[in-house]
Amino acid sequence: MLIIDGKKVSIDLKSELKVRVDEHRAATGKVPGLTVIIVGEDPASQVYVRNKAKSCKETGMHSSVIEMEASTSEEALLSKIRELNDDPDVHGILVQQPLPKQIDEFAVTLAIDPAKDVDGFHPENLGRLVMGHLDKCFVSCTPYGILELLGRYNIETKGRHCVVVGRSNIVGKPMANLMLQKLDATNCTVTICHSATKDIPSYTRQADILIAAIGKAGFITADMVKPGAVVIDVGINRIDDPSTKSGSRLVGDVDYDGVSALASAMTPVPGGVGPMTIAMLLKNTLQSFERANNLQ
């Protein structure tokens, strides 16, 4: 079985991005800038934000983090976003989720300039994705990362049946629409399964490419997978494991031990899709910079 190594690909991609950033710095004296806003003190969010800042530094991009109190009002956050929209040195704006309950997440998504929405969540970017205008939008980072992995590992997609398990706005819906596109790296027949789907195994067993993004540890078992399928595991679930020092470990939505005996290629957890998300965020930020400075 081929192990699709997202950690390696993300390192390679960040090295490639650094070359382009250095070239732009030499030619223009400017570099891409990413600003992350974090509201409150969620520990997991803080770790994720630190990783983003570290990756920006590795690629030569400018990174800034704006920390706001958990009691911040929605209007105060929207005001800060408008300020960043107008800042020519900021090419990507990301508001870290989750947000405190007094703030409407959709209002925040709408407030970000679509040209700086490097998370790819704004309805304008999602609409352009659905319409096939991928050169004029930003694609959500996790689906975009999966597409990058399929391309780098030369996974044949044209005409194949892709089954996406999960329908979230962050992964499932954009992933399905991406795999539908008439591109060399997609062009699939697509089926979406979700929590209300009856007899999910009857669909997953038809998949040439199975993408699991349902958020349930070990949900996809060997009896649900067609022999020879390519299996992409998006899940990141923490489960108890007394044998580890921390008492827990990360697993995906796929039963790795069982399914790896059947699959022709598969992403591990951790080290598969996860590392690609930040790498594609940086790629989107560079693309935003190039569009803003007519460098494409």
Tell me the catalytic residues.
52, 96, 119
Length of the chain: 296
61, two tokens:
């991009």
What are the backbone dihedrals phi and psi of residue 6, each rounded to the nearest 5 degrees, phi first? -65, -30
Element holding 251 (H helix, E strand): strand 248-251
Task: Say if residue 168 carries a ligand binding annotation.
Answer: yes
Task: Say if residue 160 carries a ligand binding annotation.
Answer: no
Q: Which residues contact 123 (CB under 8 A, 6 or more apart)?
A: 109, 110
Task: Say if residue 236 carries a ligand binding annotation.
Answer: yes
Dihedral (CA of 50, 51, 55, 61) sign: negative
Q: Which residues contact 275 (CB under 8 A, 6 or more apart)?
A: 6, 7, 9, 10, 11
65: helix, strand or coil: strand
Task: Say if residue 93 carries a ligand binding annotation.
Answer: no
Q: What is the largest CA-CA distance in the chain?
A: 57
Residue with tokens 């009857």: 202
Query: Which residues are annotated binding-site positions?
Result: 166-168, 236
**Binding site feature residues for NADP(+):** 166-168, 236
